[in-house]
Chains A and B, each alone.
Chain A
Amino acid sequence: MSISPRPLQRRSRILTATAAAALLMTAACGGGSDSPDASPSAEKLAIAIQAPPSSFEVTRLDGGQAAYVWASVYDTLLYTDEKGQIQPNAAESYTYSEDRKTLTFKLRAGMAFSSGAPVNAAAAKASLDAVRTTPGLGQSNLASIDSVEAADDLTVVVKLKEPDDSLVPYLAGGSSAIADPAAMKQPDAATNPVASGPYTLDKGATVSGSSYTLKKREDYWNAAAYPFETIQVKVMPDRAAVVNALRAGELNAGSVDSSQVETLKSAGLRIEQIKASSVATLFLADREGDKLEPLGDLKVRQAINMAFDRAKLVQTVLRGTGMPTAQLFNPKGRAYDAALDELYPYDPAAAKKLLAEAGYAQGFEVTMPSFVTTKPLEPVIAQSLADIGVKVTWESVPLQQQFTALGSAKYPMYFGIYGLDHDPLLVDTYTAPGTPTNPFKSADPELTKLIGDADKAGDPAEADEAYKKINQFFVKNAWFAPVMDIGMSWVTAKGITYLGDGSSAAISIRYFGTSD
């Protein structure tokens, strides 16, 4: 199977999870060796996404595949390239002060919004201030910012309350999108973005919620990085529709279920397989054993980690489009440590022994939430746990209640599929207390120190070292039981290439190029 690209921001992880599960659930359709039309044109990229973008307000730009639309219209201060490196974008440079509490951005000169108004420090400040003062995900992402100042026409100075290594990665996403301040105040700001990105939304050719047409701005400062004159983003929640549209030549790029890869390959389409774009993991959230006593014992959490035949699950459930893993971090990222994957081999007998040593020789029972997004994987998870004596009862939770259900600390253990991301963002997401990803507010002095080390590290190598140690902390203390990385398969027609290799978690039209 495959999965849609994942977000740069925390919110969209669940969107990724939804996408992943939708892929797991989607039935295959048809077969054959017919050849699709040549791509509509190298001038035009026609791509499918599973869910439409929400509002176009800068305070509401979410991650997930919706970024194919808004990230084409908006410029962000920084961006993540296809190798996962954060690069200058609207800001041509950024520098930290010695104490890492002041971040200074130098904007490019000569940029303009589609309205003709200049992009300047005041505009960037207005957008950042709007994001950090409006209740929502962006506010949470930028919580470490104390103030934003426009030092001069092209210099933005961001003062931090405390050093925060996750801030720069967040500013390479929707949290730093720059909108025309005049348009932000208009009543149609949600549907009519006025920004400085490489494309503008062609409202006449756009059917909201269904199909978005973007026209290239020839006056864009970095037009050469965007080879397509027109981008058409079609909303197709059904994967069979994506496959049909690719075969009929109505799309020239899309991500598909792994079961469809061979059919599409034989139809002459190009396939790019990414081995890891999200991770399926069991959250052993009640690490003090407040609600489920056994989970307070490290041996029990380690036993659970040894219950999964990860390699077999990747082959049988994902048809090989994935990787067995015992860690939450991107295998192509710097925090990843291949040796950690060896720590918990599949060994039900040893797992039972650990449970017995912890005083649970008879196993124990646990109730876990069942979401429509995780349902396809639930039987194999439950079976693996049952094999070591942990009996799971699934409790159905409507999708719209998922965050409340998880955040309320009702469930000591739960299963989810979450998008991979920059190392600092993953740490931020999985450790923020009182959130659906850390509902029991787990904390540890060692972990707090390591996060502090990463935040204060001036040298990237030092920060990488800290993230590696955080990864080791998670795995050795069995805070989670990651099962497998879920990959994705990108299909492109002749003339189009997908440039990503899984190193970057970001979503961008920039990752598509042309070829002969």
Chain B
Amino acid sequence: MLLYVIRRLVSGLVLAVLVTLITFLLLAPSFDGIVSNRIGIGVTSEAVRALKADMGLDRPVLVQYLDWLSDAVRGDLGVSFFSGEAVGHTVGQHLGVTLSIVVVTLLLTVAVSVTLGVLAASRGGAVDRITQAASLTGHLVPNLLIAIALVYLLAIRLKLLPATGFTPVTEDPAAWARSITIPVIALLVASVAGLTAQVRGTMIDELRKDYVRTLRTRGISTRAVVLRHALRNAAGPALTVLSFEFVALLGGALIVEKVFAIPGFGSYAFDASLQGDVPVIMGITLFAVLLVVTINLAVDLVNGWLNPKARIF
């Protein structure tokens, strides 16, 4: 297994090099625009050329990329073209903000979805119909609408929670919890709706299988059949959906981050892309690739642990 993990990590690094190279090559034609964007309107093309040279963007593209890569390998991701801040530090800072929201959202998603999905699949009847209706509604109602309604009610009317902003957990855990409550609920609804439907569907499939009937005939309690056997087998696909959800939320939290003025990864990436902040875009790309590789690896490992038949190592 260790060899498998090492192999996956090495292929992840190769992937990171390829993706960052492609990103850099895609950005290269925009360098003139990026320099103009930094220098502003009302200046001549000579001034743009001078700044381009000053920023080192007039060198051959591959030389620039290799410079970036060799610095990145040594842990130096450069500084932002616009703010002058160290990219490694700021990417980590913004990623931390989003992760603190996304991880809480996913943990709650798992808790709520598994409970609802299992109940709906095992009990059927009214519980199932209500769960399905709730899941469909969750899919249909836009996150933004939920966020707006919650802000109005909880922040503006009742003044229980802040309407905007973010407090780091290290600074004040209680204030952190208050600051992420509405964003988490806004993200949670769609997330729960998706995963609940998934868990319900796979659980129904599992509960119809022969091994479940066999277990029941041997006198195993329904509770044990559902939780220890069927759920374990149904967890694989749900975990895969969850990993997609995790990756989607990293970028997808953008709207929620904007509406709540949260300095997260999504809005940071969005702003850097609009500005053409090459070092920041490269740093974000690298972090994102490594994160996705790590998550996929973790999901494969957990899947293998849950279901030996699914082991690919």
> Would you give the 0/1 interface string for B32-75, flagging 1 where the beta carbon is closer than 8 Å to chain A?
11101111111111011011011000000000000000000000
Partner-binding segment picked from B160-168, B187-195, B290-298: B160-168
Chain A residue nearest to B49 in the complex (CB): A135
A245 & B41 in contact (Cβ 8 Å cutoff): no
A135 & B41 in contact (Cβ 8 Å cutoff): no
> Would you give the 0/1 interface string for A428-464, flagging 1 where the beta carbon is closer than 8 Å to chain B?
1100111111000000000000000000000000000
A10-B43, A403-B33, A435-B44 are known contacts. Are A250 and B164 too (CB-CB below 8 A)?
yes
In the bound complex, how far is the Cα of B152 from the Cα of A399, in angstroms? 33
Partner of B41, one of A51, A240, A244, A403: A403
In the bound complex, how far is the Cα of B79 from the Cα of A435, in angstroms? 28
Cβ of A222 under 8 Å from chain B: no
B83 & A52 in contact (Cβ 8 Å cutoff): yes
Partner of A62, one of B40, B48, B51, B164: B40
Partner-binding segment picked from A118-126, A207-215, A374-382: A207-215
Cβ of A420 under 8 Å from chain B: no
Chain A residue nearest to B36 in the complex (CB): A403
B263 & A207 in contact (Cβ 8 Å cutoff): yes
B83 & A434 in contact (Cβ 8 Å cutoff): no
Partner of A250, one of B53, B85, B162, B263: B162
In the bound complex, how far is the Cα of B152 from the Cα of A249, in angstroms? 13
B84 & A211 in contact (Cβ 8 Å cutoff): no
Q: Please indicate the chain B residues that have their CB under 8 angstroms from the CB of A207 in the complex.
A: 93, 263
In the bound complex, how far is the Cα of B260 from the Cα of A434, in angstroms? 41
Taking the closest CB of chain A, its distance from the CB of B120, in whole angstroms, is 34
In the bound complex, how far is the Cα of B30 from the Cα of A398, in angstroms? 10
In the bound complex, how far is the Cα of B157 from the Cα of A29, in angstroms? 14
- Residues of B in contact (CB 8 Å), total 51
A32-B156, A237-B258, A245-B163 are known contacts. Are A11 and B82 too (CB-CB below 8 A)?
no
Chain B residue nearest to A9 in the complex (CB): B40
Q: Please indicate the chain A residues that have their CB under 8 angstroms from the CB of B155 in the complex.
A: 244, 248
In the bound complex, how far is the Cα of B50 from the Cα of A317, in angstroms? 41
Q: Please indicate the chain B residues that have their CB under 8 angstroms from the CB of A30 in the complex.
A: 148, 151-152, 156
Taking the closest CB of chain A, its distance from the CB of B24, in whole angstroms, is 15
In the bound complex, how far is the Cα of B165 from the Cα of A248, in angstroms? 12
A54 & B84 in contact (Cβ 8 Å cutoff): yes
Q: Please indicate the chain B residues that have their CB under 8 angstroms from the CB of A404 in the complex.
A: 32-33, 36, 48
A403 & B157 in contact (Cβ 8 Å cutoff): no
Q: Please indicate the chain B residues that have their CB under 8 angstroms from the CB of A490 in the complex.
A: none
A208-B85, A234-B165 are known contacts. Are A140 and B43 too (CB-CB below 8 A)?
yes
Partner-binding segment picked from B7-15, B220-228, B267-275: B267-275
Taking the closest CB of chain B, its distance from the CB of A395, in whole angstroms, is 15
B164 & A14 in contact (Cβ 8 Å cutoff): no
Partner of B258, one of A9, A34, A135, A238: A238
Q: Please indicate the chain B residues that have their CB under 8 angstroms from the CB of A248 in the complex.
A: 151, 155-156, 159, 162-164
A136-B51, A140-B47, A429-B41 are known contacts. Are A400 and B275 too (CB-CB below 8 A)?
yes
Taking the closest CB of chain B, its distance from the CB of A273, in whole angstroms, is 23
B54 & A235 in contact (Cβ 8 Å cutoff): no
Taking the closest CB of chain B, its distance from the CB of A46, in whole angstroms, is 10
Q: Please indicate the chain B residues that have their CB under 8 angstroms from the CB of A54 in the complex.
A: 38, 82-84
Q: Please indicate the chain B residues that have their CB under 8 angstroms from the CB of A236 in the complex.
A: 164, 261
Taking the closest CB of chain A, its distance from the CB of B262, in whole angstroms, is 8
In the bound complex, how far is the Cα of B261 from the Cα of A428, in angstroms? 36
Interface residues of A in 40-56 (CB under 8 A from B): 48, 51-56
Interface residues of B in 227-283 (CB under 8 A from A): 258-261, 263, 267-268, 271, 274-276
Q: Please indicate the chain B residues that have their CB under 8 angstroms from the CB of A437 in the complex.
A: 41-42
In the bound complex, how far is the Cα of B259 from the Cα of A160, in angstroms? 48
Cβ of B90 under 8 Å from chain A: yes
A29 & B148 in contact (Cβ 8 Å cutoff): yes
In the bound complex, how far is the Cα of B85 from the Cα of A79, in angstroms? 28
Partner of A190, one of B40, B43, B83, B275: B83
In the bound complex, how far is the Cα of B268 from the Cα of A53, in angstroms? 14
Partner of A401, one of B30, B41, B47, B159: B30
Taking the closest CB of chain A, its distance from the CB of B311, in whole angstroms, is 44
Q: Which 9 A-B pairs have the closest CB atoms?
A: A11-B40, A190-B84, A10-B42, A403-B36, A210-B263, A400-B276, A55-B84, A401-B33, A135-B51
Task: Provide 13 A-B residue pairs closer than 8 Å at the C-beta atoms, listed in order of the A residue.
Answer: A30-B148, A30-B156, A48-B261, A136-B38, A140-B39, A210-B263, A244-B155, A399-B274, A404-B36, A406-B41, A407-B48, A434-B44, A435-B44
